Structure formats: structure tokens, C-alpha cells
């Protein structure tokens, strides 16, 4: 999953994969902490794209990002996210739950 997160963020941020720093962070208990393009991302992943696991993972990522630092960006990684999971994540984001 680490190499997939690195590659996906490099592509989205239009940087080389070598410019994406990935580490585990015991302090935040997040799955990964990623630094790239001047931003810090707190990554949590789930193997299920169903609404309930995505919602729980979204909240967990937001909590870890807040614990790490105020400017950290919570990020949920899944192998595939369907409309139900995506809709749930968007709803939580709009409510300020993330």
C-alpha cells in the first residue's frame, strides 16, 4: 500500500515519486504520514469501500491529522471507492466531521 500511496500522491501533486516522503508515525497512530509539495497528509486506509468502514476511517484520519498538527490533511485510501463510500466521505467533510 505504501508504494501505491506514494505513486498516487506523486501523480496527483505532479511531483516525482522520490519527492514524496512516507513514514509511519507512532505519535499520531496514523497508518502513514506523507509529506509532498509542501503539504503533510495523514493517511488511513481500509480494504472496504462500503459506507460504514469509509465513514469510520474518514473520522479516524481527521482525528489523527488534528493530533499531528492543524495543517495536516486527512486522506482515506481504499483499493476502490464506490459511490456509497464517496458520498459518505463527502457528507462527513461538508459537516465538518473531518
What is the distance between the alpha carbons of residues 48 and 35, in angstroms, rounded to a whole number? Answer: 25
What is the distance between the alpha carbons of residues 23 and 36, in angstroms, rounded to a whole number? Answer: 12
pLDDT on residue 26: 60
pLDDT on residue 65: 87
pLDDT on residue 15: 94
What is the distance between the alpha carbons of residues 26 and 52, in angstroms, rounded to a whole number? Answer: 25
pLDDT on residue 85: 55
- Among 61, 62, 68, smallest CA distance to 44 is for 61
pLDDT in tens, the chain (98 residues): 788 888 888 988 999 999 999 887 665 588 899 999 999 999 998 888 777 888 888 889 888 888 887 689 898 888 766 666 556 556 655 665 54
Q: What is the pTM assigned to this prediction?
A: 0.75
Q: Report phi then psi at 7, rounded to 5.
A: -65, -45
pLDDT on residue 87: 60
pLDDT on residue 98: 47
Amino acid at each position: 500500500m505504501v508504494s501505491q500511496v506514494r505513486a498516487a500522491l506523486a501523480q496527483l501533486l505532479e511531483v516525482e515519486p522520490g519527492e514524496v516522503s512516507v513514514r509511519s508515525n507512532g505519535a499520531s497512530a496514523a497508518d502513514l504520514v506523507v509529506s509532498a509539495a509542501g503539504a503533510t497528509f495523514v493517511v488511513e486506509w481500509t480494504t472496504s469501500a462500503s459506507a460504514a468502514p469509509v465513514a469510520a476511517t474518514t473520522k479516524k484520519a481527521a482525528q489523527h491529522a488534528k493530533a499531528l498538527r492543524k495543517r495536516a490533511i486527512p486522506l482515506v485510501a481504499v483499493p476502490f471507492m464506490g459511490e456509497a463510500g464517496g458520498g459518505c466521505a463527502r457528507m462527513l467533510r461538508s459537516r465538518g466531521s473531518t
